[in-house]
């Protein structure tokens, strides 16, 4: 299930795709959406002088015929409304003549619906509702109408017609993040009992972790046993070591260029989960969980006890 923030992100992408396209490009986008929603959707190829006989798409059950009209910059501004109204009437006439068994006719357009188009729509709708011999449900779909069926799809299918949601900077941590993210999305899942205590407060103080990041760490650490379990279940016994080296290498690089620990952490969050990880609540928690897990195991940031021991050793050596 999509988080509300991600749903809004995909909706904005849909609005952009729907509204910027013109002509055949618009029809191509609409056809891809309808095909994704209805796998049996048919988009007839034009055949010679007959064209597509007024059909830009037919639902799998054969009951709904779609006509698409993408706005054109070539149409004179003052005549666009009249042209849209005329286009709608012509397409409907073709559909009724060539596809007599349809029950719904749907005109999908990104052109503005002006007064002439609205009046023509009302006129056609009333005509076919009052004609007992041929009652036809006539609809006009805009961007929002198409989104109402598109929004029911999951992230994987939405990314087939829209730019995929940008996630991790690379895929090195995608597997573990997505595994923990799925647990966060499963309301029926019972978490493994967490280990007693929080992320070492001494280590957080020593590394000057801000209060907000302390909260994030302690939130993410509730999933620490799940990460432990995930690593145990992997066929590659060295996977933990591989990922620990990767995040340690990134930390060491960041520690040379960032101003403070919070800047380092923000870059690590993005490295693990992508610039947009906070858009999705479960993904945000998963990213916090993964980073706090490696922090807790001393793969990243300084261990105050280790550094205290090393400093003491250096001091003894100097004395000797």
Give the pLDDT confidence score for residue 194 in this predicted structure: 46
DSSP string covering 227-282, please? HHHHHHHSS-TTHHHHHHHHHHHHHHHHHTT-SSHHHHHHHHHHHHH-TTGGGSHH
Placement of tokens 């509730």 in the chain: 222
Give the pLDDT confidence score for residue 131 in this predicted structure: 72
Q: Residue 310 and residue 313: Cα distance in Å, rounded?
A: 5
Per residue in 197-235, pLDDT (tens digit) is 445 678 888 999 999 999 998 888 888 888 988 888 888
Q: Residue 68 and residue 15: Cα distance in Å, rounded?
A: 16
Give the pLDDT confidence score for residue 315 in this predicted structure: 47
Residue 188: strand, helix, or coil: coil
pTM over 0.75: no
Q: Which fold has domain 4-158?
A: Restriction Endonuclease (3.40.91)
Give the pLDDT confidence score for residue 167 in this predicted structure: 53
Give the pLDDT confidence score for residue 47 in this predicted structure: 63
Q: Residue 167 and residue 254: Cα distance in Å, rounded?
A: 20
What ranges do the domains of the chain cover? Answer: 4-158, 174-308
Q: Which residues of 272-286 are buried (b: 16+ CB within 10 A; e: fewer)?
A: bbbebbebbebbbbb
Identify any residues that bridge with 137 across adjacent strands, giving them in sequence order. Answer: 104
Give the pLDDT confidence score for residue 72 in this predicted structure: 82
Q: Is the dihedral of CA 156, 162, 166, 172 positive or negative?
A: positive
Give the pLDDT confidence score for residue 8 in this predicted structure: 77
- Which residues of the chain are modeled with pLDDT < 50? 1, 168, 187, 194-198, 309-320
Q: What is the CA radius of gyration of the chain?
A: 29
| DSSP label at residue 102 | -
């Amino acid at each position: 299930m999509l988080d509300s923030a991600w749903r809004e992100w995909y909706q904005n992408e849909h609005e952009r795709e729907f509204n910027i396209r013109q002509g055949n490009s618009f029809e191509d986008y609409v056809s891809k959406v309808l095909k994704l929603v209805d796998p049996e959707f048919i988009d007839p190829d034009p055949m010679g002088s007959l064209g597509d006989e007024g059909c830009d798409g037919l639902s799998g059950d054969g009951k709904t015929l779609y006509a698409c009209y993408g706005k054109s910059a070539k149409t004179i501004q003052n005549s666009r409304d009249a042209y849209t109204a005329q286009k709608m009437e012509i397409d409907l006439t073709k559909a009724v003549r060539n596809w007599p068994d349809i029950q719904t006719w749907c005109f999908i357009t990104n052109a503005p619906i002006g007064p002439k188009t609205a009046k023509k729509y009302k006129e056609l709708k009333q005509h076919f509702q009052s004609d007992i011999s041929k009652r036809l449900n006539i609809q006009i779909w805009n961007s929002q109408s198409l989104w109402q069926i598109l929004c029911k799809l999951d992230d994987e299918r939405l990314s087939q017609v829209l730019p995929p949601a940008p996630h991790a900077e690379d895929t090195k941590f995608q597997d573990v993040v997505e595994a923990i993210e799925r647990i966060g999305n499963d309301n029926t899942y019972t978490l493994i009992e967490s280990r007693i205590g929080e992320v070492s407060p001494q280590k957080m103080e020593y590394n000057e972790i801000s209060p907000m990041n302390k909260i994030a760490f302690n939130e993410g650490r509730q999933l620490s046993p799940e990460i432990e379990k995930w690593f145990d279940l992997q066929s590659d016994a060295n996977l933990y070591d591989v990922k620990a080296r990767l995040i340690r290498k990134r930390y060491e690089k960041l520690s040379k260029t960032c101003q403070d620990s919070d800047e380092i952490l923000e870059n690590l969050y993005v490295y693990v989960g992508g610039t947009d990880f906070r858009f999705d609540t479960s993904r945000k928690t998963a990213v916090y969980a993964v980073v706090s897990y490696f922090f807790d195991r001393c793969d990243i940031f300084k261990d105050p006890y280790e550094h205290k021991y090393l400093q003491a050793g250096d001091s003894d050596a100097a004395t000797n």
